[in-house]
A and B are shown apart, each in its own frame.
Chain A
Amino acid sequence: MVARAAREIAPGMVVNLGIGLPTKVVDHLGPDFPVCLHTENGLAGIGPTCTPETADRNLIDAGGAYVSTIPGSAFFDSSVSFALVRSGRLDLTMLGAFEVSQNGDLANWKIPGKFSPGAGGGIELAQKARRVVVLTTHTDRIGNPKLKETCSLPITARGCVARIFTDMGVIDVTDQGFALVEIAEGISLPEIIDATGAPLALPAGDIPTF
């Protein structure tokens, strides 16, 4: 799933990878792959992650991981960092999700009464990146669908999600709702339909696997 999501990144893009699963996408990009990774705390051109021994105490990503620079990296303040996001210079962001609705609403920052640490930069990423894709498990820990007709949790941004990568499949958000693009190896059609909380349109002909 993470390897499949990595193929979403085209050469030349400026990309922000959200905390959690999306961060692992970077492991599937080759060292010579031409891409500029952005992090909200003020770096364009993120290099490989460091060990505690090689870490620079002043150089982290927005998730707090110690990272490095590569030739051509740039540092900037928080205002410039989000100017880049809001002005349309961020080609792609990959985010985690609690829920995604069939019209592309994303909920990923708050579970009232249980989890409310603040949205950080997530709202601007979701609302302003040119393309927003979600990486998530298809269901929550107790098996409830995360892909739903409408979100029940507070919304991060409305109508923002274009594509969802899960452990069960690749699903596009279209004007008609969820549409299955690919299915994971070993998952049956009834299984993914059953685990999805809204109608799932199927592609014509054979469904590609990944």
Chain B
Amino acid sequence: MRLPDKIGTLEESISRISDGATVMIGGFGVPGTPFTLIRELVQQGPRDLTIIKNDANETDMGVDHLLVSGQVKRLITTHIGLNPRAIAMMNAGEIEVEFNAQGILAERIRAGGSGLGGILTDIGIDTELASGKQRVEVDGKSFILESALRADVALIHADRADPFGNLAYAATARNFNPLMAMAATHVIAEAETLVPLGDLHADDVHTPGPFVDDLVGLNELSEEYAVVQR
């Protein structure tokens, strides 16, 4: 037996994203953001997207290009403080923004990727984040019901990958990537290094290949991946 090969082209992989799609994008700041996949998404131009991402990157980086091109209708996120354009567009009503507590966004995605309907939590229960959400009592304790999140497509950045789509992440570039890689109907991963089957040891795989549909090798890294000069 031999494991299947999922290496494809950037253009073909991203062409699966259509108008109105919900797209999860990995990354926390620069580390783990799939800048090359995002650039191609801007290039191909589907509109009215719902983007699920921890943050909105910074000016002229990553998700910011999708804001400039007007492709984003809704952003489900935790913190957009480093992107003044995202805040301005939210305040002007040009995009809808839904804020989540960071670990709760992670758990909603994990639930969606695990075949679950939602999670029960007391995070934010006494704050405005809980308004409008269903309350559930369990053993005398109050929780709010947070629904699971799934997406049509997830865009993932890996450090290493083999042709079957086994993925490994580097340092703090892991963040939301392994969670989102489980929670979408179609999962596209870009990888800095493609290694032959067997070179990524079974013990070192962070995201198992069955979760990944398309794999894109990065021949070069654009400036966006580099250390941010502040």
Interface check A82, CB cutoff 8 A: yes
Rounded to whole angstroms, the CA-CA distance of A155 and B107 in the bound complex is 22
Q: Is the CB of A82 within 8 A of B174?
A: no
Residue of B at shortest CB range from A113?
Answer: B91
Contact A121 to B28, CB < 8 A, known contacts A58-B172, A77-B177, A78-B179: no
- Assuming the A-B contacts A57-B226, A78-B179, A82-B102, are A118 and B78 also in contact, with contact meaning beta carbons closer than 8 angstroms in the complex? yes
**In contact, B128 and A154 (Cβ under 8 angstroms):** yes
Contacting residues, chain B, for A23 (C-beta < 8 A):
none
> Taking the complex as formed, is A156 at the interface, i.e. its CB lies under 8 A from any CB of chain B?
yes
Q: Would you call A11 an interface residue if the criterion is a C-beta within 8 Å of the partner chain's C-beta atoms? A: no
CA A29 to CA B150, docked complex, whole Å:
43
Q: Looking at the assembled complex, report how far the CB atom of A163 sits from the nearest CB atom of chain B, in whole angstroms.
A: 21
Verify if A116 is at the interface (C-beta below 8 Å from B): yes
Query: Total contacts A to B, CB within 8 angstroms?
Result: 133
Cβ-based interface call for A75 (8 A)? yes
Within 8 A of A (CB), among B179-203: 179
B16-24, B80-88, B133-141, B211-219 - interface stretch:
B80-88
B129 at the interface (CB under 8 A from A): yes
| Residue interface bits B77-107, CB-to-A below 8 A is 1, else 0 | 1111110000100100000010101111111
B124 at interface (Cβ–Cβ under 8 A)?
Answer: yes
In angstroms, Cα B128 to Cα A124, docked, is 14
Interface residues on A, range: 35 or more
Assembly CA distance A151 to B31 (angstroms): 36
User: Using a Cβ–Cβ cut-off of 8 Å, how many residues does chain B contribute to the interface with A?
Assistant: 49
Report the minimal beta-carbon distance from B5 to chain A, rounded to whole angstroms. Answer: 27
**B222 at the A interface (CB under 8 A):** no
- A52–B31 alpha-carbon span in the complex (Å): 15
Q: Say yes or no: is A127 at the interface (Cβ < 8 Å to chain B).
A: yes
B103:A117 contact, CB within 8 angstroms: no
- Cβ of B3 within 8 Å of any chain A Cβ, yes or no, is no
Whole-angstrom distance between the Cβ of B120 and the nearest chain A Cβ: 12
Q: Other than the known A60-B28, A119-B129, what 18 A-B pairs have Cβ atoms closer than 8 Å?
A: A41-B28, A42-B172, A42-B175, A57-B226, A59-B31, A60-B30, A62-B28, A76-B174, A77-B179, A78-B176, A78-B179, A119-B78, A120-B81, A123-B129, A127-B124, A154-B127, A155-B126, A158-B127
The 21 sampled A-B contact pairs (Cβ below 8 Å) are A41-B172, A42-B174, A55-B227, A57-B227, A58-B32, A58-B171, A60-B30, A66-B227, A75-B171, A77-B177, A78-B103, A86-B123, A116-B87, A118-B77, A118-B81, A118-B97, A121-B102, A124-B104, A155-B126, A157-B127, A158-B127
The 7 closest A-B pairs by CB, nearest first: A82-B103, A117-B81, A120-B79, A121-B102, A58-B171, A78-B106, A118-B79
